[in-house]
C-alpha cells in the first residue's frame, strides 16, 4: 500500500521510523501519519521560505516520531513529547548517528510544543516547533479562526497563507484534510 508518507521516504532510517509509527499507531495512512506528513511538509516549506538548508532525514524522522510517545508501545508513562524524543534518539544512536544528530532529533521531538524560539538547539528543532504551530493554527482556522490574527500568531498566519498558495495539487489535499488530528 502506498501512502503519502511512503512517497517522502528516501532512506532506510526514514523507512524504519515510518514502520515504527505504523506499528505503534496500528494503521497505515491514518490521522497520525497524515499529521506527521503535514508537519514535515510545513517544516520543509518554512526552510525553503527562509533559504536555510535542513537535515531532511532528521526532520522527516522527527516528524514521524514526534507524537509517538502517546502510544503505549513507546510510552513508559512519562511526558509523551520527551518519550518520543528518547525513542527517536535511541534509533538514531543504533543507526550510528553522531551525538549531535542524536541530541537534535531528541530535541526536535521533545521541544515541539515549546513556547519560545528553539533556534539555539538547531534550525531543525525550531522548524519542527513552528510547523507544529502552523498545524495548530490551521486547525484553529477550521474552527473559529479568530485567534490566528493576533500577536505571535500573525507571522505564522502569513506563513500559512504563503504555504497554502504554494502547495502543489499533490499535497494540497494532505494539508487541507481535517482528521481527528493529534497534538
Residues 88-127 that bind Fe ion (CB under 5 A): none
Q: Compute the least distance from the CB of residue 85 to Fe ion, in Å.
A: 12
SS (H, E, C) 62-123: HHHHCCHHHCCCCCCCCCHHHHHHHHHHHHHHHCCCCHHHHHHHHHHHHCCCCCCCCHHHCH
Does position 67 interact with Fe ion (CB under 5 A)? The reply is yes
Residue 57 contacts Fe ion per CB under 5 A: no
Give the nearer residue to Fe ion in terms of CB position, either 71 or 94: 71
Comparison of 40 and 92: residue with beta carbon closer to Fe ion: 40
By C-beta, is 24 or 100 nearer to Fe ion? Answer: 24
Residue with smaller CB distance to Fe ion, 67 or 124? 67
Shortest Å, Cβ 181 to Fe ion: 8
Interior/surface letters 27-59, b for 16+ CB within 10 angstroms, e for the rest: eebeebbbbbbbbbbbbbbbbeeeeeebbbbbb
Contact residues for Fe ion (CB under 5 A)? 67
Amino acid at each position: 500500500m502506498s501512502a503519502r508518507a511512503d512517497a517522502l521516504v528516501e532512506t532506510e532510517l526514514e523507512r524504519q521510523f515510518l514502520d515504527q509509527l505504523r506499528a505503534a499507531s496500528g494503521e497505515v495512512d491514518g490521522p497520525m501519519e497524515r499529521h506527521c506528513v503535514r508537519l514535515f511538509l510545513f517544516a520543509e516549506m518554512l526552510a525553503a521560505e527562509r533559504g536555510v538548508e535542513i537535515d531532511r532525514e532528521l526532520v522527516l524522522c522527527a516528524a514521524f516520531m514526534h507524537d509517538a510517545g502517546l502510544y503505549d508501545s513507546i510510552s513508559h508513562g512519562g511526558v509523551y513529547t520527551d518519550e518520543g524524543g528518547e525513542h527517536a534518539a535511541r534509533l538514531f544512536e543504533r543507526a550510528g548517528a553522531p551525538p549531535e544528530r542524536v541530541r537534535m532529533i531528541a530535541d526536535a521531538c521533545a521541544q515541539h510544543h515549546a513556547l519560545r524560539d528553539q533556534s539555539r538547539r538547531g534550525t531543525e528543532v525550531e522548524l519542527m516547533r513552528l510547523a507544529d504551530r502552523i498545524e495548530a493554527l490551521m486547525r484553529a482556522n477550521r474552527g473559529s479562526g479568530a485567534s490566528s490574527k493576533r500577536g505571535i500568531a500573525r507571522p505564522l498566519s502569513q506563513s500559512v497563507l504563503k504555504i497554502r498558495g504554494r502547495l502543489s495539487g499533490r499535497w494540497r489535499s494532505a494539508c487541507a484534510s481535517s482528521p481527528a488530528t493529534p497534538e
